[in-house]
Every structure is written in C-alpha cells, then in structure tokens.
Amino acid sequence: MEVCYTTTDLITDLQQVRSKHSSIGLVPTMGALHEGHFALIRESKRDNEFTVCSIYVNPTQFNDRDDFNKYPKSLEKDLKILDSLSCDIVFCPSDEEMYPVKPRVGFTLGTVGDIMEGKYRPGHFNGVLLAVSKLLNKVQPDIAYFGQKDLQQYMLIRYLAEDLSFPVKIKRVETVREESGLAFSSRNRRLSGKALREASNLYKGLLKGKEKLSNEVPFTEVKPLIENYLCNFASIKLEYLELVETDNFQVVNDVESDREYALCIAAYVDDIRLIDNVIFEVDR
C-alpha cells in the first residue's frame, strides 16, 4: 500500500495505474476509520482493480469550530487497517495541499441543500462539495463510494457529478451498524457509557416510525410518536426528523406505493451530534 501526502505523488502513482487500464475506486473519508468505512473499501475492492482511500478532515465543511477541533484522529491505526484491507493508495493531503488558496467560488444548492443538514449546518455542504470536487479531480476515479448514513450528502454529490459532468459513477453503500443498532460513526468514539447506550434509540425510533408509515399511518401522527419515544432518554435532544422521497429528496408527509422513502434524524446525544436514516418502500 502506497501512502501519498502530496497531489504530485498521487498523480504520478495513478498515471502508472491508469496506463494499465485498471478501473479505479475512490473512498473519501475523514479518518478515524470504522466498520462503515471498511464496507465502502470492500465494495470498491469488489468493483475495481484499484482502490484509493482519502483521509482528510476537511475544515470547510465544519460550521462548528469545536466539532472540528475535537474530531477524532487515528492516522497510524487507520493506515494499518487500510493495509490489511488491501487498499492500494491512501491519500492524506495537508490543508496546504487541499486549499493552496482560499476558494473564491462556491456552490448554490437547490432545495435539497436547504433542508435537514443544510438548514442546521449552514455552509456544510458547500465545504463537502468543494473537498469532494477536489478529490474527484485529483484521483479521477471510475466509481466513488459514499455511505447511506449521510444520505443527503450522497444525493448532493450525485447532483454535483451529474450537473458538472464529472466522469464518475457515484455509488451508495448501505449503513453499517453496531450490534445495538447504532450506526457506526467516528463521532461515536466521543460518547460516554450512558450516552452510548442511549444513542441506539435513534435507530429504534426510526424503525418504529418506518413500521407505522408502512402501515399507512400519516407522518403527522408518526412524528410525535417518535418524538415522545425519544423523550424517554435524558441524553438525547432531537434536532430534526424528516420524511423524504429518496428519488428527488423532497420532504413529504405521506407515502405512496412503489416509491422509496427515507426517514431521517439528527439529534444531539449529550453534546455529540449524530445523524441516521432508514430507507423503505411501501408495497400495497
């Protein structure tokens, strides 16, 4: 496994790879790797002859300084794991490599950028799309992999690639969960015993909601049920709960048959902000 710290090294290495006509998969991450990330790497290994993983804690996507400063880092351990997963190249750029100049352009996002994460984390998606654009341009992968856990992010990256004609396929990979049901997240490392135990109720709440919605209970009734359920746990403070159609990411209140929906949640567990979602279809 090669570790590249500069774009020049990365491009030199990839030139050789491309001359052998290999297909290249890219897995962008912010490090502190866990089973969710491993699933993306494995998917890329299955689909491609060559896999690049990037590790970069992107400052422009953090709207909260404290969250950025406290973001977990474990580069040495991450590199060992990536080696054991037979990742081919790890790209670990510095801030100077990623942002040699402060960006002078940005993204105007449509309605999908205004809801949920876009509403509660102003500027977040602009930062995500800047960093992802840079990574896609540097690596020029055939397929790039993103987790369902960050569903709105996946959707906006798909729109980015389609609208700006990036020659890449954007692939969604299912959320990987701990035994308790809690979605793996680098931020889980910051949860203490009780908060960690209570955090799995976000997923349990989502499952209760999914069951009701599948049985034709309108979201206007389901939402307070989940809110009440989550009130039982002292460390959980709900930020939003939304139902969206996954095809176009429009917020809806009712479900129709043969369409895919996602019930999405963001909540603070103690002072750690977590997001999750469940995707489902209604067959009648």
The contact set with ligand AMP (CB under 6 A) reads 29-30, 36-37, 39-40, 146-147, 149-150, 173, 175-176, 183-186
**Helix/strand/coil for 233:** coil
φ, ψ of residue 255 to 5 degrees: the values are -110, 150
State the minimum distance, in angstroms, from the CB of residue 17 to ligand AMP. Answer: 22
CA 95 to chain centroid: 21
Nearer Cβ to ligand AMP (39/168): 39
State the minimum distance, in angstroms, from the CB of residue 218 to ligand AMP. Answer: 29
d(CA 275, CA 254) in angstroms, rounded, equals 22
Contact indicator for 116, 242 with CB cutoff of 8 Å = yes
Nearer Cβ to ligand AMP (201/255): 201
- According to DSSP H, which parts of 30-143 are helical? 35-47, 65-69, 75-84, 95-98, 117-120, 124-139
State the minimum distance, in angstroms, from the CB of residue 239 to ligand AMP. Answer: 18
Nearer Cβ to ligand AMP (74/214): 74
d(CA 244, CA 252) in angstroms, rounded, equals 6
Contact indicator for 27, 139 with CB cutoff of 8 Å = no
State the minimum distance, in angstroms, from the CB of residue 183 to ligand AMP. Answer: 4
**185: number of Cβ within 10 Å:** 24
Among the options 21, 34, 37, 124, which is catalytic? 37
Nearer Cβ to ligand AMP (27/236): 27
Q: Does 34 participate in catalysis according to the annotation?
A: no
State the minimum distance, in angstroms, from the CB of residue 139 to ligand AMP. Answer: 15
Nearer Cβ to ligand AMP (36/113): 36
- According to DSSP H, which parts of the chain are helical? 7-19, 35-47, 65-69, 75-84, 95-98, 117-120, 124-139, 151-163, 193-199, 201-214, 219-231
Active-site residue numbers? Answer: 37
